[in-house]
A and B are shown apart, each in its own frame.
Chain A
Amino acid sequence: MDLENVPPEGNATLGGHRKAMYARDRDGRIGAVASAGWEVEEIVTRQAVDELERLAAEALAGVRAGTASPLAYHMYRARMDDTLLAQVTGLWRWRVRRHLRPEVFRTLSPALLTRYAAALGMDVEQLTHIPPP
């Protein structure tokens, strides 16, 4: 990439930070330059974030409709999926999946709830509730 091709448009997902890119200047020297980002990067990062937000919104609707437990919503909001949540809590994945069902989630022991809450970086009170509509 030549220096004049380092994209100027910026990447909103960088939150105002600049990243170091390697580019070739007029004298042919390849070195690092600070770049505000490329629209392409913004598109693919937004795509990944949107997908996680879509899953969280779907789960939230599921909790309100009584088909999903609050754990499902908080899991996706923490940008995790059942595989990752199982790894983080040290539980079997099939158990995590069961706990995504509201009728099973309601019967969870305080110890398990605490474990989930810790993994998601919240307290039990937050874990068992969802934002009001």
Chain B
Amino acid sequence: MTDFQHRHASHCESGVMSAIVSHYGLPLSEPMAFGLASALSFAWLPFIKLGGLPLVAYRMPPRAIIRGLQKPLGLRMRTETFRDPARGAARLDELLDAGGVVGLQTSVFWLPYFPQDMRFHFNAHNVLAYGRDAASGEYLLSDPVFEEPMRCAPADLAKARFARGVLAPKGLLYYPEGRPGEPDWAKVIPAAIRKTVRVMLRTPVPLIGTRGIERVARAVERLPAGGDTRQALLLVGHLVRMQEEIGTGGGGFRFMYAAFLQEAAGLAQRPALAELGDRLVEIGDGWREFALAAARMIRGRDAFDPGALGALLRRQAADERAFFGALGQAV
């Protein structure tokens, strides 16, 4: 594969899907892949612990973008998992030899090209394989969160693909069957937006959407302000890490979704969406404000004030409730 074009993206899954769809003939930006798959969300699942800290996510669960693009683009994605690493590697080689580009789910921890400080046991990192170096046997990887294409030795890639634990990839690989078609933008864009609005405002569980943000606000407000605050600050830092550091494009994907709305305004001929995009940029700035306040407390530059952080989160919840209401009205 020499004609494959690596693209730098914020988020792994939307980046991989944007690259796959573009490679097979339909230019698709990362924000459009993200928005069209209705990937924006908020989830607070305190009973699922990762490294002792509760699960918080600013987007839909892993694989939502891979699956979510099938309907709007009329594109069937084939997914395969493997019990045996040797068979998983053989199948990958077979697909690459046939000239395909293949999406892979991997664990960040076992990918040697990741910076040391970024190597956590996160099992749902997506990369794209587009070839193999005949001499060294290394795989040519397009990892969307890096500026340049990467290389990975077969043994390391096998470890990353067959890591175990929460969200174990089980060697998952995926590729399109057939080619994506140009959708009727005026139809698929409003449908995708309506789904996001529904998730954010009307999920029956109070842990998802704007009500989830309020739950987090409450959990933060209840943290002890004095005494041993190490554990409390770890939770606050964890929220910020999930919001800013895990490839969200900043502001917990809100800026990326704003870019989607702007692009959607043109494609679907709905100028109102562009204005809403600008409004979402302001909300993203509010998330960054929370992150900055939290980081200052973690560093000890400001005194730890759970009430103040909780109030910032409550404001975010209120702003997003009003915003997604208006977004629902607009489509």
Once A17-B147, A45-B117 are accepted as A-B contacts, the answer to whether A83 and B241 lie under 8 Å apart by CB is: no
Interface mask (B47-77 → A, CB under 8 Å = 1, otherwise 0): 0010110000000000000000000000000
Count of A interface residues, CB-CB < 8 Å: 45
C-alpha spacing A62/B147, complex, angstroms: 42
B284 contacts A20, CB within 8 Å?
no
The docked-state distance in angstroms from the alpha carbon of A32 to that of B147 is: 12
**A34-42, A65-73, A98-106 - interface stretch:** A34-42
Q: In the complex, A51 Cα to B52 Cα: how many Å? A: 12
Among B119, B244, B249, B258, the residue within 8 A (CB) of A20 is B249
Q: Nearest CB to that of B280 among chain A residues?
A: A30
Verify if B136 is at the interface (C-beta below 8 Å from A): no
A14 located at the interface, meaning its Cβ lies under 8 Å from any Cβ of chain B in the complex: yes
**What A residues does B277 contact at CB under 8 A?**
30
What's the least CB distance linking B16 to chain A, in Å? 13
Please tell me if the beta carbons of A30 and B259 are within 8 angstroms of each other in the complex: yes
Contact of A23 among B109, B145, B255 (CB under 8 A): B255
Q: Does B202 contact A (CB under 8 A)?
A: no
The A-contacting residues of B in range 271-294, CB under 8 angstroms, are 277-278, 281, 284-285, 288, 291-292, 294
B106 at the interface (CB under 8 A from A): no
- Are B8 and A20 within 8 A (Cβ)? yes
B259 touches A44 (CB 8 A): no
| Known contacts A19-B247, A32-B8, A44-B295, A79 near B145 by CB under 8 Å | no
Main secondary structure of the interface of B (DSSP, over half): helix
Q: Nearest chain A CB to B1's CB is how many angstroms away?
A: 23
Prevailing SS type, chain A contact patch? mixed
Say yes or no for B307: interface residue by CB 8 A criterion: no
Q: Is the CB of A49 within 8 A of B117?
A: yes
Q: Select one of A21, A40, A51 contacting B249, CB under 8 A.
A: A21
Across the interface, do A1 and B146 meet the contact criterion of CB distance under 8 Å? no
Alpha-carbon distance A89/B51, docked complex (angstroms) = 16
Instruction: Indicate if B306 sits at the interface (CB-CB under 8 A).
Output: no
Tell me whether A40 and B291 are in contact in the complex, defined as CB-CB below 8 angstroms, given that A22-B250, A47-B233 are known contacts.
Answer: yes
> Which residue of chain A has the shortest Cβ distance to B293 in the bound complex?
A40
Q: Is there a chain B Cβ closer than 8 Å to A46's Cβ?
A: yes
State how many angstroms separate the Cβ of A121 from the closest Cβ of chain B.
7
Query: Does chain B have a CB within 8 A of A26?
Result: no
Q: Are B51 and A31 in contact (CB under 8 A)?
A: no
Contact at A45–B9, with CB atoms within 8 Å?
A: no
A47–B234 contact, CB under 8 A? yes
B288 lies within 8 A of A47 (CB): no
A21 contact from B10, B237, B258, Cβ within 8 A? B10
CB-CB under 8 A from B52, the residues of chain A are 81, 83
Instruction: Assess the A44–B145 pair: CB atoms within 8 A.
Output: no
When distances are taken between beta carbons in the complex, the residues of chain A under 8 Å from B194 are none
B237 touches A30 (CB 8 A): no
What are the 3 A-B residue pairs with the smallest beta carbon separation, nearest first?
Answer: A15-B115, A13-B117, A22-B255
